Amino acid sequence: MSLKDYLKKILYFSLISSLARKKNINLWLVGGFLRDFYLKKEKIIPEEKENFDFDFCVEKDVFSFVKEFSKEISSRYIVLDEKQGSFRVILKRKSLIFTYDFTLMRGATLKEDLSLRDFTINTLAWDLSKNCLIDYFKAKEDIKKRKIRVIKEIVFLNDPLRILRGFSFVSFYNFKIEKKTKEVMKKYKRYLNKVSPERINEEIFKILSTGSSFRIVKEMDDLEILEEIIPQIKMTKDVYQGSYHHLDVWRHSLETLKEFEFLYKRKLSKDKETFSYLEEEIAKERKRIMILKLACLLHDIGKPLAKKIKKKKTIFHTHEKIGMQIVEEIALNLRLSSKEKEVLKKLIYWHLRPGYLADCVSISKRAIYRFFRDLGEEALSVILLSLSDWRATRGVLVDEKKKKKQEKIMFKLIDKYFEEKKKKPLPKIVDGYDIMKRFKLSPSPLVGEVLKRIKEEQVLGKVKSKKDAYKIAKKVID
């Protein structure tokens, strides 16, 4: 299909053209719609991927044009940025939503306007009056070569978030950032602290949503961009971990992400239950898998502060607790939701626990019950984090036979997680009121502890009646 025919798919495209002629306004279709056409043509994105977001660059009188257009299609307009002359018209047709953005041309010419866009791949324009494509900056060539290239340095100063957007394009389209553009990104990375945390985390999670997160994060790290966003990362670099590790703390954390993505691609994504679990949304457009990937990068963030040398051995006792506190600060700085913050903290705090279980000669039913009780919904994420952590640990003192045995145990724990989820909850034998009445207690945390222990013994088959429950309660209270 030619671009001209493709443009006919745009609802009200002919109306926009005729209105522009009537009002004697030069108007161009620009941005993602045209980029996506050529991405499809080069088979970089699938044909069926539809784009219903249309961006128009308007030479003059943009407000007058938008008012008339919205009136013609019986819709309303939204002011995006009055100062910049940016407006939006949204149209709903059954289950589809069409978005038309109209923005006043920046600069004296279209070429100047396009030169201020983030990357060349977004500089294509279609002239509605002449019905022809305009490609001043070799956008088509860069799309074909899968190249991310900046035109003017000032675009990163105008909006430093474009540095991260460049990496988002790399992750989504498997592009490469050209050397000169990388140099400019590194030069302006310090301005990222001027960008709102909400916009930062949106781009970070876009990158973590793809299957090639490790490669992109590594490229960002090579330019020292990550530590501009999460300064605490810097202290993990060059921290020696002892002979059980072959990498320093930070490179081990990167390797953990790499191992998780390898596991996901080869095994986890093929298991329906695990795939569905990782695809669950824990916040708007944020899936478990994204938070888990972030946890891979931050799971040992507490090690530099916990590091001690004891009897010539490097130890990191309580690094998970220190790490949890640091991660809380990071989550607040990035403006993560309260749910995202709590999940992330839980993953960091408990990431060693599956390893402790796997180290046991035999794992008791009680230990397994307590593990799943304490970790709840996050149990599977913690197991996967721990498994990836183990696989990323390849120092000279690592016993490979023991490591393989522990991996098998962790995969059994994954199966156990889904087994436990399918079990019907046991009927409640006693409640808090029963305990308070029987033992003349006032409401207090002790009552909760008693009920918690009774439930544990019930699951293990040791409590089957009220009499059994009261015996356990007495032991806890005494």
Instruction: Take residue 209 and report the two structure tokens written for it.
Output: 């949503």
Instruction: Take residue 364 and report the two structure tokens written for it.
Output: 């008791």
- 441 contacts 433 by C-beta, under 8 angstroms: no
Q: Rounded mean pLDDT of 303-330?
A: 93
Place of tokens 């569905």: 276
Instruction: Take residue 309 and report the two structure tokens written for it.
Output: 């040398």
Supply the pLDDT for residue 467: 92
CATH topology of domain 3-144: Beta Polymerase; domain 2 (3.30.460)
Q: Rounded mean pLDDT of 59-66?
A: 95
Amino acid present at 156: F
Round the average pLDDT of the chain to a whole number and report it: 93
CA distance 143 to 148: 8
Q: Give the predicted TM-score (pTM) of the model.
A: 0.90
| Region at 318 (left for phi over 0; alpha for psi -120 to 50; beta for the rest) | left
Helix (H) or strand (E) holding 117: none
- 293 contacts 262 by C-beta, under 8 angstroms: no
Domain with CATH 3.30.460.10 in the chain: 3-144
CA distance 342 to 261: 23
**CATH number at 146-229:** 1.10.110.30
CA distance 325 to 470: 39
What's the pLDDT tens digit per position in 427-450? Answer: 999 999 999 999 989 999 999 999
Domain with CATH 1.10.110.30 in the chain: 146-229
Instruction: Take residue 372 and report the two structure tokens written for it.
Output: 């799943």
Would you place residue 105 in the very low, low, confident or very high pLDDT band (cuts 50, 70, 90)?
very high
What's the pLDDT tens digit per position in 152-192? Answer: 999 999 999 999 999 999 999 989 999 999 999 999 999 99
